[in-house]
Structures are given as structure tokens and as C-alpha cells.
Structure 1
Amino acid sequence: MTERQPLLKVEHLSKEFPAGSGAFGGRFSKRVVSAVNDVSFEIYPGETFGLVGESGCGKSTTGRTIMRLSAPTAGKVFFEGRDVSAMNKHELKDMRREMQFIFQDPYASLNPRMTIGEIVSEPMTIHGVGTKEERIERVRELLDVVGLNPEHINRYPHEFSGGQRQRVGIARAFILRPKLIICDEPVSALDVSIQAQVLNLLKELQDKFGTAYLFIAHDLSVVQHISDRVAVMYLGKMVELSDWKTLYTEPHHPYTQSLLSAVPVPDPDIQKTRKRIILAGDPPSPIDPPSGCRFHTRCPIAQEICSKEAPEFKQVANGHFCSCHFAKPFPIKESHINI
């Protein structure tokens, strides 16, 4: 039996941005923001891989760097075995037929001067796919699939609601039938009731076309309903990775446990008895991250070793990885979380 090959493989990916210069520690030096630091994971065909963490942790930068919308500082990205970071302009264009993007803001990502027919068909035009008539027919077919009226093909984005505009963005991402779509917080700007509709639509389209997703979000309850595996990021580093069920029932990292404690439960009786794990302070600056474990300044179980040595991102159970010196299920003992 042949081993299943990953569709996307990310190896030790890092991305830094310049942040000016100045005198630090008695000497003049250039500062950088370490947005993504040594991140590695794989995504398999047809899988949904969730990437979660609070704002500013590097989730969106990871997605954009994978797509080569931003060049990586270090590390490699392989798509179907090909090194994305080594591709030239023409190879990148061909690769992007198979890897598309759904953006967070459903209005800012659509050109207000173009009709939705022009917006959705634009990837086909750029890549020279089909005749004009074939493109129109494909757009009408896809608008129907995503729940929009094909007769509205000549309308403009401002004539649609936020949820409908996001459906236009989804249709545009699927028009070339890519193998991987990077979803950058695709429902965070939508009402809760509309979020559920869009998530269900993404799941239906995945079942129909077999597309893999890198699903970026800050809301663990959203990721739970769509992901096969989930990775948690904190201050540019990956701290935990597992299948979604194990992550939600046996979190090994104190940060993951804290995030889960904030997820509301529909049962009011259970919700009243749950304990929130409130972390001390604010996330440190990515310009000057803490020594050792980046989470140790806010961690309730941190010890001396945590400030001196960065923990290894190691396997703690089958398919379950964690970056913590004291990794174990529910490390914060005084808390009780019901999932």
C-alpha cells in the first residue's frame, strides 16, 4: 500500500518584516517583526486544515507566504512536490490555477467597478481558459451552485449583502476548480446566522469538487465544524497540532486550553458552571518576543526552564504534536472545561 502524499508541505517556514532601526542594548541595529517563525505542517488532498490563534499571531501571513503573495524569509513550501519558493513568474502563474484564495472582507476583495460576472470569470480570463461563451456559462453554473441567482450576473457588488458578496468570492475561488483553497477568515466579517450558511456551503463544495482547504480563523467554534485537523498558533509559532476531536477533548498546551475555555456552550446550565481561563497581560510584541517559550510570560504553569529554553514541537500522542515543556492533557488543573 503506497503512502498518501501531501498536497501541500510547509517546512520550517519563517517570515520577517522590517520594523525600522534604532539603538537597542547600547548598539544600533535594525529591528524586524518575526510574524511567522519555524512553522511546519502538511495538508492532504480533500482535507480541511484549520489554523487558529488570536489576532496578530501570524495566521494570515502564513497563508499569504504559502501562496507566494509574500516571499518567505526562510523555509520551504512544496505544492504537489514542487518547491513554490523556487518557482519563476510563469511557474507561479500555473501553480495558482491549482491554489486559490478567499479573502476576509467580502467587499474590499471585490472590484466595485466590475460586475459579478466579470469578477467571477476573471481567473479564467487571466489563465486563458475557455471562450467568452464558455466562461459565461461556467459563471452562471457556479453562481447557481453557491446559491446566487445566475440572472444577477450583470449586477455590481454594492447590490449584494455581505453574505452574498462572500458567495461571489467563493465562486471566484472555485471557478478554476483548484486543488487547494486558502480561506483567510472567510466568515469573520459576517453575521453568525450567515456564517453557518457559508460554512455549510464550503463543506458542500468540498464534497462536490474534492478541494482541500487551509482554513484560517480566530474562532475555535468555527474551525471545529469544518476542520479535519487543527493547528494553534501563538506569536508566530505553532504550539499544538492534532485532529480536531483530540484537540477539543484533550488539549495539551495551556494556551489551547485557555482558547477552548472561551468557546461558548449552547447549554446554559453547563455554561454557568464552566470556568474561564483568563491569561495575564497582553501578547508580547513580535518585535521583541520573550526568550525561551514565547508563551511563558502569560502561562499559569510556567517554570524557570520555560524562560530559558524554547520547547521542542514534538509528538505527544499519535498524530498529536505540542510545543510545551510540561505538555499533558488539561495542564491547568484547577480548570474544568466541558466540550
Structure 2
Amino acid sequence: MAEKNQGASLLHVEHLTKEFPVEAGVFASRMNKKRVHAVEDVSFDIYPGETFGLVGESGCGKSTTGRTIMRLTNPTSGKVVFDGKDVAKMNKKELKEMRRNMQFIFQDPYASLNPRMTIGEIVSEPLQIHNVMPDAKERLEYVRSLLDIVGLNPEHINRYPHEFSGGQRQRVGIARAFALKPKLIICDEPVSALDVSIQAQVLNLLSDLQKEYGTAYLFIAHDLSVVQHISDRVAVMYLGHMMENSDWKTLYDEPYHPYTQALLSAVPVPDPDVQRSRKRIILKGDPPSPIEPPAGCPFHTRCPIAQDVCASGEMPELREVKPGHFCACHFAAPNPIKGASVEL
């Protein structure tokens, strides 16, 4: 994958934290409210035209990170700077302008489209909300061209979402996201609900559109094999924390965090001989509750190489272990779980 221009970042996320209150019951004490620690002290940058992959198990805070960045939910603390402006400090007018340049592709192509609107109305809705192309005829022709670009028949512009397959519906969602030609699109697991054969088509479409429009992606997924094919850089999350962050090739070839290494060991490879010879890293137990996360490193309760220092003190600092490669582990090293193979 081509290197991107590492000038000024398009999106700067700094110490982003998001907590949600938990109601234990009708008579719960207001003084003792517990909180879900969904996102904890997450920092990263996305540069124009690149794809930044965000991966991890379900419930690790990936989608909450994306929604907080777009201010679909307000951050508890931290800073999100998009195109030089602090998102948290934006008023309604500024927020509307920001969302013209930052769009969202949702995970579920069945739930994210209004069943009472035709696909033409769905794709043209952002243009009307932001008062782009007020001329109805011009807008209609533009929507037809968008449908053609994403691989749909422009003649089907007056059909409803239920008349399309899941893959076709996701193409409608992609056309809607690209209608305003945004600078950044947050892709929240855009292919996880699709068949494997359709996933490849949608990923190729996203890559082609990126080349044509120069759009940057925040690509959220739990499937490392999917992220590998589209991302320039990849960050791994666990229980709301960012554990490792690097360019995709370095991360896949030489992971420094035991959690990343364990995730990679679970990625299937097409060669059956190689697959049989690989050692799978099986993590013990389940992820801890985000309501009461463990002290120290949140991964230490399942980590094969954890020691006393991991359970005490603060979360390990996300430090640079190699140029451009960051890891939050006291024992960061190439493939730290010895005797395990993660060749892809």
C-alpha cells in the first residue's frame, strides 16, 4: 500500500475518554453510580487520504470511539480536532458544517436505511440537508451518477431498500456517505454483516473511491484479515484502551503486544499446510467488565506473560518502541509470546 503524505493531520484525537453512567435500579443511590469505561485515554492521528484501521474484540470501544469523534455522543474528556477545529467546542452551525466533511457508514445495511424512502431520496438527503445542488434536476442526475459509481443500476433510483440485497444496500449507504465528497468517512464495521464474497467487492469499492476522491477512512473492524487489505496504519484496542499502533505491515509481521500477537494467531490463512503448522494462542477467561476494569494493564488477567508489575500501578504508557510503532506493554518485544507463530 502506498505511503501517504504525513503532513498536518486531518483528524487529531488526544486522550479521548468516554464513560456512560450505569443505573443499578430504580432505587440506586445517585451518589454511588457506576460507570462503563467505554473509551480510556485514546490518542491517534489520521492524515488526508489514508486509511486508519481500528481493531479489537466486540465491546472494546471501537464504535464508541467513532461515534464520539463525530460527536454523535459527547466525550467525557479529551480532545478531537478535525481539520484544525475542536469538535467539542463547535456550536450547531459549526457542527453541521463539520459533518458535511465527515460522514458515517454504518454496520447494518438493513437498519441504516429508511424503509419508507426510495434509494434516490436516501442518497440525495445529505445534499438537501446541507443545501447542496438546490436544483432538483441537477441533483437527480448527480444521484444517478453516484449509484452508477458504486455499482448500482441508476434505473433503480425509485426502488425501496427492501428490494435490494444486503450488499446492494451497503452500496447505497456508501453512495450516501460520498454524496457530499467528505474529507473523512468513519466506516463502522461496514462489511461484517455481509457474505465473504460480497465483503471483497465492498472493500475494493471503498479502495477505488478513496483513490478517486482522496477521502480518508477511519475503518473500524474486528476482523484483522479485512483490515489488512485496506489499512495504511492499524491500532489495536482492548477494553477501551489502545494497546498497539503501527503501519499495517510492521504490525502484522512483528507485533510487540501479546494481545496483538494472540489476535493475529487466530487469523486463518488459505494454505492448509501452513494453517495446520501454526500455533494458536488461546487466551484464558473472558474480557473483564468495563464497569470495573482491573488495575494496571487491563489485559493482565488474560495475558500469558503477565507479571506482578502488570497488575499494579497505572496502565502502561503507549510508548514508541520503534519509529512509528507504539505499544502499551511493560514487556513490549517482537512476538513477545515465545514459541507461537503468527505468520500470515
Which bin holds the TM-score, normalised by the shorter protein?
over 0.9
CA distance in 2, matches of 1:133, 1:6: 37
1:39 aligns with 42
Tell me whether 1:108 sits opposite 2:111 in the alignment: yes
Q: Deviations over 1:158-210 (max 9, x none)?
A: 00000000000000000000000000000000000000000000000000000
Query: Which of the numbers 169, 177, 187 marks the counterpart of 1:183?
Result: 187
Query: Which of the numbers 19, 22, 29 marks the counterpart of 1:19?
Result: 22
DSSP 3-state at the match of 1:9:
strand
- In 2 relative to 1, CA 260–14 (structure 1 residues): closer, same or farther, beyond 3 Å? same
Tell me whether 1:209 sits opposite 2:213 in the alignment: yes
CA distance in 2, matches of 1:134, 1:48: 31
Query: What is the Cα deviation at residue 337 of structure 1?
Result: 2.0
2:71 aligns with 68
DSSP 3-state at the match of 1:97:
helix
CA distance in 2, matches of 1:305, 1:3: 36
Query: Which of the numbers 225, 239, 246 marks the counterpart of 1:242?
Result: 246
Tell me whether 1:49 sits opposite 2:78 in the alignment: no
Which consecutive unaligned segments of at least 5 residues does structure 1 have?
none
CA distance in 2, matches of 1:132, 1:242: 46
CA distance in 1, matches of 2:8, 2:46: 9
**Normalised by the size of structure 2, how large is the TM-score?**
0.96
Task: Please tell me the residue identity of whatever aligns with 2:230.
Answer: I
Tell me whether 1:121 sits opposite 2:97 in the alignment: no
2:343 aligns with 338
CA distance in 2, matches of 1:205, 1:334: 41
DSSP 3-state at the match of 1:124:
helix
CA distance in 1, matches of 2:120, 2:342: 48
Decide whether the 8 Å contact of 2:109 with 2:173 is kept in 1.
yes
Decide whether the 8 Å contact of 2:166 with 2:194 is kept in 1.
yes
Task: Please tell me the residue identity of whatever aligns with 1:184.
Answer: D
Task: Please tell me the residue identity of whatever aligns with 1:316.
Answer: V
CA distance in 2, matches of 1:136, 1:70: 33
Task: Please tell me the residue identity of whatever aligns with 1:250.
Answer: E
Which consecutive unaligned segments of at least 5 residues does structure 2 have?
none
Query: Which of the numbers 272, 277, 282 marks the counterpart of 2:286?
Result: 282
Query: Which of the numbers 275, 282, 297 marks the counterpart of 1:271?
Result: 275
Query: What is the Cα deviation at residue 46 of structure 1?
Result: 0.2
DSSP 3-state at the match of 1:38:
strand
1:86 aligns with 89
Q: Deviations over 1:106-136 (max 9, x none)?
A: 0100000000000000000100111111211
RMSD: 1.2
CA distance in 1, matches of 2:19, 2:277: 43
Aligned residues: 334
Decide whether the 8 Å contact of 1:21 with 1:28 is kept in 2.
no
- Percent of aligned pairs sharing the same letter: 76
**Normalised by the size of structure 1, how large is the TM-score?**
0.97
Query: Which of the numbers 140, 143, 148 marks the counterpart of 2:147?
Result: 143
Q: Which runs of 4+ in 1 moved over 2 A?
A: none
Query: What is the Cα deviation at residue 21 of structure 1?
Result: 4.7
DSSP 3-state at the match of 1:96:
helix
1:254 aligns with 258
Higher mean alpha-carbon deviation, 225-234 vs 125-134, is at 125-134
